[in-house]
Amino acid sequence: MCIDLYNLKMQYKMETLWLVFLIIFVMSLSVESQLKSGFYSSSCPNAEDIVRSAVESYFKKDPTIAAGLIRLHFHDCFVQGCDGSLLITGSSAERNSLPNLGLRGFEVIDNAKSQVEATCPGIVSCADILALAARDAVDLSDGPSWSVPTGRRDGRISLSSQASNLPSPLDSITVQKQKFAAKGLDDHDLVTLVGAHTMGQTDCAFFRYRLYNFTTTGNSDPSINQAFLIQLPALYPQNGDGSKRVALDKDSQIKFDVSFFKNVRDGKGVLESDQRLWGDAATRSVVEKYAGNIRGLLGFRFDFEFPKAMIKMSSIEVKIGIQGEIRKVCSKFN
């Protein structure tokens, strides 16, 4: 009798544990199963074409908008997950935090949303439009295209105080790794996603300190290529305009390619955080892989890896199912 009771208890424990494991497993698959390519194929079949058309119309007038759209998606996903919280306006909203003040491209998303709403009201989330627009921006800039898993819903929280932990151009490689790891992204993802700096610009203020007061004695950053360093003071004088724009990729700032990695390899990275990728063994190996003509297969390797990293990033903490909402206007909650 005692043995039977013991066996029943053990069986009950095993069944309970199995049920717990099953629940955890199902929960882990929930995002993957509900974010899928062609999510709107029945409910709003023209959604992706409408977004593409909107992005293309702005891109034709100003190709630099592409970098802005990629950055919007990146900054959105790192705070509250990929839920469009960055798009909300308001004095205390995420959009008005210090790390987000230089962002651009909001008007492209708003335009795409208004067109989608006119065709399929209340169906397509702003978070999905942002993910699609980032993909289209890369494609239009001679980069790769990919099938974007959709089905995200828009968040109902947007607070500037939550944006303080966004990756910064001043971050050490250790801090960069920690911030990406906190979002489920590994070192390979880090280098691959930072590769989006092959396009776009930054303020001179985020670069100039590396020329004049990087150390306590006022010397320049020793990791800057010396031949490159000689050219820079004339372009970015110590007391010049800090808002002057600097290309993140000095060779091709409106084209999606691997020249960014070649610049980092050669000590010509603009942001300190970018150049630090070369000083760490793990991230350096990825930079070498992308920068090399043979190992990088003339850029094809980066074109293959970047979409995978973007899909992984665009799944961070997404709202799905009945979570969140589908906003009518991207800049305000319903």
Given 52, 75, 135, 319, which residue is catalytic?
75
305 is in an annotated binding site: no
Report the sign of the C-alpha dihedral through residues 95, 100, 102, 107, in that order: negative
In the residue annotation, 75 being an active-site residue is answered as yes
Rg for the chain (alpha carbons), in Å? 23
237 is in an annotated binding site: no
198 is in an annotated binding site: yes
* Residue 73 to residue 84: CA distance in whole angstroms: 8
79 is in an annotated binding site: yes
85 is in an annotated binding site: yes
Type and span of the H or E element at 70: helix 65-77
Please report, in angstroms and rounded to a whole number, the separation of the first and last CA atoms in the chain. Answer: 63
81 is in an annotated binding site: yes
Residue 76, helix vs strand vs coil: helix
Task: List the structure tokens of 244.
Answer: 């002057």
Give the start-end residues of each E strand in the chain.
201-203, 245-247
- What backbone phi and psi angles, to 5 degrees, belong to 325? -155, 175
Count Cα neighbours of 19 within 13 Å in the Cβ-side half-sphere: 6
Q: Are 174 and 64 in contact (CB under 8 A)?
A: no
Task: List the structure tokens of 62.
Answer: 């100003």
249 is in an annotated binding site: yes
83 is in an annotated binding site: yes
Task: List the structure tokens of 298.
Answer: 């003339």
DSSP structural state of residue 162: G
**Annotated binding-site ranges for heme b:** 197
**Annotated binding-site ranges for substrate:** 167
Give catalytic residues, as residue numbers.
Answer: 75
**Annotated binding-site ranges:** 76, 79, 81, 83, 85, 94, 167, 197-198, 249, 257
**Annotated binding-site ranges for Ca(2+):** 76, 79, 81, 83, 85, 94, 198, 249, 257
